[in-house]
Amino acid sequence: MTDVRASLFAVRKAAPRDALAISAIHGSSFPSPWPLSYWTRTISDPLHRIYVAAMPGCPPLGYLVARRIVDQAEIISMAVVAGSRRQGVARGLLDALTEDLCGELPCRLFLEVAADNAAAFELYRRAGFEEIAIRAGYYERTGAPPVDARLLARDLR
């Protein structure tokens, strides 16, 4: 486990060399991982913004991928390696995105989070997001009933 609090991590835009690490983080964080080809393609797509948080000389601790279209943006996925969670990495990624978006035209930022992910919901609430809807049974769970998605939004001006 890496103690992120004791170290300095930096958030930067992802580069093609980060695709494999991002794919690995996603694969260890979600039950249906997206293929490496998704990440290599998306890193180069101008509609997407992908950020990674990493300590100097180390592989990424986490990533965030978002898409902006005109006056709306959506966080598509964000994950942090298990040993570095609850140490400010996700907040750093989220702050980098919102700072980047605030430098442009005003927009509304959306995301969805599983209703049973209390830690993520609290992170987003503290970052100024408000719940605007529920998507019933949105997330499939192996061997368990589906979980609702909470749709959240924040205006960036």
Q: Is residue 5 part of a domain?
A: no
Q: How many domains does the chain have?
A: 1
Q: Is residue 3 part of a domain?
A: no
Write out pLDDT tens, residues 55-113. 888 889 999 999 988 888 999 999 999 888 888 899 999 999 998 887 776 789 999 99
Whether the predicted model's global pTM rises above the 0.95 cut: no
List of residues 6+ apart from 23 with CB closer than 8 A: 33, 34, 35, 36, 38, 39
Q: Let me know if 78 is exposed, middle or buried by CB neighbors in 10 A (0-12, 13-18, 19+).
A: buried
> In the predicted model, is pLDDT for residue 1 greater than 50?
no
Q: What is the DSSP letter of 18?
A: G
Range of the domain at 130: 10-156
Q: Is residue 4 part of a domain?
A: no
Q: Is residue 147 part of a domain?
A: yes
Distance (Å, whole) CA 104 – CA 78: 22
Catalytic residue list: 112, 124
Write out pLDDT tens, residues 103-137. 776 789 999 999 999 999 999 999 999 999 999 99
Torsion on CA atoms 100, 43, 138, 79, rounded to nearest 10: -70
